[in-house]
Amino acid sequence: GVTDRWYSQLCVSAIGRSIGATRLDSINWQNDYLLTQGQYPVDVALHTQLLRVLGEGHVLEFGSALQTDIGRTQLNLNLIFERKLSGPAAPTELKYQWQLRYRWQPWLNIGAQGFGELGPWDRFDAWANQSHRAGPAAFGRFDLERERALHWQAAFLRGKVYGRVGHMFTMQVKYAY
């Protein structure tokens, strides 16, 4: 984090039909700013992300990130607007992300994730053309020396992406210092 309220990260994303056919897809700069920090039942953050999608141009995401805890269970819901900044004019799209996470041990949390794209924010696409994926997820943290840690998460999501079958495996590893 840049401050105790501002989180920023730079990451790259790869995509492919198999490990051998994976290629670089985008470079992303994400910034989340906490508007609340525990004083209300739901914490609220402002999410922004600038993406450079290779072959397609620049995209801006912005929206809300909501989080609450019920005992050892964490619930997240993000409502994200997506606007293309280059290429042909296109309407602002609405996407969602949700996550359920049970904090069992620091090295292993279990839960589920879901993602979807609804289409233009002011008139959703027909259900058959929307994207919805969900599935089991696992998360964890390995503490290292001097307040450093290795965070990881993985999920297998089943569903559809713009009307086509869209099963996917996602994985993220982050070194926090």
> Does position 62 have pLDDT exceeding 90, yes or no?
yes
Q: Once rounded to an integer, what is the mean pLDDT over residues 132-152?
A: 94
SS3 call for 22? coil
The percentage of the chain sitting over the pLDDT mark of 70, rounded to a whole number, equals 100
Residue predicted with more confidence, 67 or 176? 67
Mean pLDDT, all residues of the chain: 92
Inter-residue contact 68 to 84 (CB < 8 Å): no
The pLDDT of residue 21 is: 78
Q: Once rounded to an integer, what is the mean pLDDT over residues 4-31?
A: 86
Q: Once rounded to an integer, what is the mean pLDDT over residues 66-71?
A: 96
The pLDDT of residue 130 is: 93
pLDDT band at 38 (very low <50, low <70, confident <90, very high): confident
Distance CA 104, CA 154 (A): 16
pTM of the model as a whole: 0.85
